[in-house]
A and B are shown apart, each in its own frame.
Chain A
Amino acid sequence: MLFARINYSQLRQLLEVIFLWCLCVPLVYAGAADYVYTTAIEQGERELGVKLGAAAPVAGAGQQVAGIGLGYGVTDHWFTELYLKQEHNGGARATLAEWENKWLFTETGQYLLDAGLLAELEVPLSGAAPWELRVGPLLQKEIGKFQLNGNLLFVRAFGMPDESGVPYTTNLACQWQVKYRWKPALEFGMQGLGEMGTWNHWSPVASQNHRMGPAVFGKIALGNRQAIKYNAAWLVGVSAAAPAHTLRSQLEYEF
């Protein structure tokens, strides 16, 4: 059913792109697959997605993340997606399920800012790890051919106690993105991800994790409401606690 509406040539192109995408990950030593959430939601849209990330080591431990997910636009204002992902942190390996939900509270372009909400639950399927909840506002603004995004996320681990015995706190993370919508198949810009520490008592700057760098985006229409979407970024650590380099990417088949 999934591939019934695309021809052999399109399917081969899709598989080639996914294969090349997968080959790219081991080339950079490690990273996280986190991406900048946007307020774009379309009713009835289904997405089969792959996300990959690799970040250079911090204190000797590199990280690689790979995930595959299926998403659906339930309404014009609610998108839900389930990801299965595997993380390699140094020698440790963990399999996780991630349930992402986005809600859009405004009509796109109606107000000064488009406003939405993200709620994402991460559940470990293997290994000893706590659950993690991410909740926060998503904001978007269009200015001509530029699209700006800024998100604040409150992140809280819970469930299994921390090994060190330190109680979990609610941490604050931020995301931002500037995108120039040049052509459908190639848009470009900058994006950044940051982790500030406890939401009401930020860590010293040297202990915060901030990364930023160039990003590319695009969508290739296949006809019959099908398309391949991609986005990728090379993020450079701009704080002492951040990985020196992160390569993150996301590839989606929209149908």
Chain B
Amino acid sequence: MKTIFLITLLFPFAALAADYTLVIKEHRFEPAELIVPSGVKIKLVIDNQDATPEEFDSHALNREKAIAANSRITLYLGPLEAGRYPFDGELHEDTARGVLIVR
């Protein structure tokens, strides 16, 4: 019984996710406000089109991830409750700011 329990924990079940994309261009997020539905898992692709690296940071979303220059990362978020979830690019905080709006 213990063995079955451990194996179950080590091989988590996949969950469905809807796709959304954020672009980083000239150290800004586009769109700066992204609207997504509540109660479902979100697959968020962040496409850094700048020639410099960035770091996605959001305490509200509990994510912190480096993005190399001219590359993409994928974040899996939620299911989220309705609300506003701010995020920023830690390496260009003055301009790289955005909000995930969950409705």
Contact = CB atoms under 8 A, between A and B. Distances in A.
Nearest to A105: B10
Contacts, number: 58
B14 A42 contact: no
A139 B15 contact: no
Contacts of A43: 65-66
Interface of A: 40, 42-45, 76, 106-115, 137, 139, 142, 144, 147, 152, 181, 183-184, 219, 221, 223, 225
Interface residues of B, number: 25
B15 A111 contact: yes
B12 A142 contact: no
Interface secondary structure of B, over-half rule: mixed
29 contacts: A40-B64, A42-B64, A42-B66, A43-B65, A45-B66, A76-B66, A106-B12, A107-B75, A107-B76, A108-B63, A108-B75, A108-B76, A109-B41, A109-B77, A110-B14, A110-B17, A111-B14, A112-B12, A112-B13, A113-B9, A115-B9, A115-B12, A144-B81, A147-B62, A184-B59, A219-B59, A221-B90, A225-B55, A225-B90
A219 B57 CA distance: 12
A109 B10 contact: no
Nearest to B42: A109
